[in-house]
Amino acid sequence: MIDSHAHLDSPRYADDRDALLARAWDAGVDTILSIGIGEGPDTMHQALDLARAYSGRPGVPKIYATAGVHPHEARLADDAAYAKLDQLLSQPEVLACGEIGLDYYYDHSPRDVQQAVFTRQMEIAASHKKPIIIHCRPSDNSTNAWDATLDMLVSQWSPTALGGILHCFTGEWNHARRAMDLGFLISFAGNITFPKAQPIRDVLAQVPLDRALIETDAPFLAPVPNRGKRNEPAWVASVAAKLAEVKSLTPDEAALRTTENFHRFFGTTVILENRH
């Protein structure tokens, strides 16, 4: 399995990161994409640091990194942040720019600032020919952030043909379809295991199997039966199992197909290390 979105640099893992990665490997997680937003732009390098620190270490998953300024921290994006992002995206272990996008639920940064920072980061990602990982959350009972995000992707990102990932998808079918038309994959997180998440499962049922990814968004959003706890990459198995149920697959098929999708999209290679 691949956990396509985890915040491995979270301070909540400071005391047991080695053990947590070993648990992930033992659960069948070969690869983790560690999201490099840090605690803000000053620490967006931490995911790459982890990718390098664990590189080649046996008994833990292969770690790749991203780098980006989360919409929550858009107000902190300055020239130093953009220079740092530019430098990080030039590194081969940094597969994508993200998570970037729009969050109109919390509005931690003004919306016009979020949009400007999203645009600037798309320009930097395009200059490195790296795809983008999108965070999008609208206001309650609204699709405002989806409408704005998709409009910006159509006008500003589709000319690059680089595509990306909609992470922790919570939107409607038409949002997924519009993004897939632009070459995006749709990543599903632990919330697909929640009893009230039937609308998300209904979208998952429609998303073609070659367009779906699974993620934890750890340390957030732990899936059932660990809901409410600190999340960790090993528990992506619960997401795979729910995807399998919705798609009428075996859990192994769900793991294999989402793994293939990740490698096909990023041009990375399957881990061949013998587990036996």
- Beta-carbon count within 10 A of 178 CB: 20
Q: Confirm if 23 and 3 have CB atoms less than 8 A apart.
A: no
The window from 71-79, 99-107, 203-211, 246-254 that contacts Zn ion (CB under 5 A) reads: 99-107
Binders of Zn ion among 215-254, rule CB under 5 A?
Answer: 217
Q: How far is CA 36 from CA 6, 70, 129, 225, in A?
A: 9, 9, 17, 27
User: CA 185, CA 133: separation in Å to the nearest integer?
Assistant: 10
**Which pair of tokens denotes residue 35?**
């999201």
Beta bridge partners of 164: 132, 184
User: CA 62, CA 138: separation in Å to the nearest integer?
Assistant: 33
For the chain, how big is the Rg over CA atoms in Å? 17
C-beta closer to Zn ion: residue 33 or 244? 33
- The footprint of Zn ion on this chain (CB under 5 A) covers a number of residues equal to 3
- Cis before residue 11, ω within 30 degrees of 0? no
User: Residue 72 interacts with Zn ion (CB under 5 A)?
Assistant: no
The window from 42-50, 135-143, 149-157, 264-272 that contacts Zn ion (CB under 5 A) reads: 135-143
| 3 state SS of 34 | strand
Binders of Zn ion among 78-97, rule CB under 5 A?
Answer: none
Residues 167-206, mask of contacts with Zn ion (x by CB under 5 A): ----------------------------------------
Q: How far is the CB of 249 from Zn ion (least distance, A)?
A: 26
Q: How far is the CB of 101 from Zn ion (least distance, A)?
A: 8
**Which pair of tokens denotes residue 207?**
């998303």
Q: How far is the CB of 253 from Zn ion (least distance, A)?
A: 26
Q: How far is the CB of 191 from Zn ion (least distance, A)?
A: 12
C-beta closer to Zn ion: residue 8 or 244? 8
The window from 57-65, 134-142, 149-157, 233-241 that contacts Zn ion (CB under 5 A) reads: 134-142
Q: How far is the CB of 109 from Zn ion (least distance, A)?
A: 14
From the list 45, 135, 242, 257, which residue makes contact with Zn ion (rule: CB under 5 A)?
135
C-beta closer to Zn ion: residue 30 or 217? 217
Q: How far is the CB of 168 from Zn ion (least distance, A)?
A: 5
Q: How far is the CB of 35 from Zn ion (least distance, A)?
A: 5
Burial of 57 (0-12, 13-18, 19+ CB in 10 A): middle
Q: Confirm if 218 and 204 have CB atoms less than 8 A apart.
A: no
Residue whose Cβ sits closest to Zn ion: 135
C-beta closer to Zn ion: residue 30 or 73? 73
List, in order, residues 6 or more apart from 42 with CB less than 8 Å away. 81
Please report the sign of the dihedral spanned by the C-alpha atoms of residue 104, residue 109, residue 114, residue 118.
Answer: negative
The contact set with Zn ion (CB under 5 A) reads 99, 135, 217
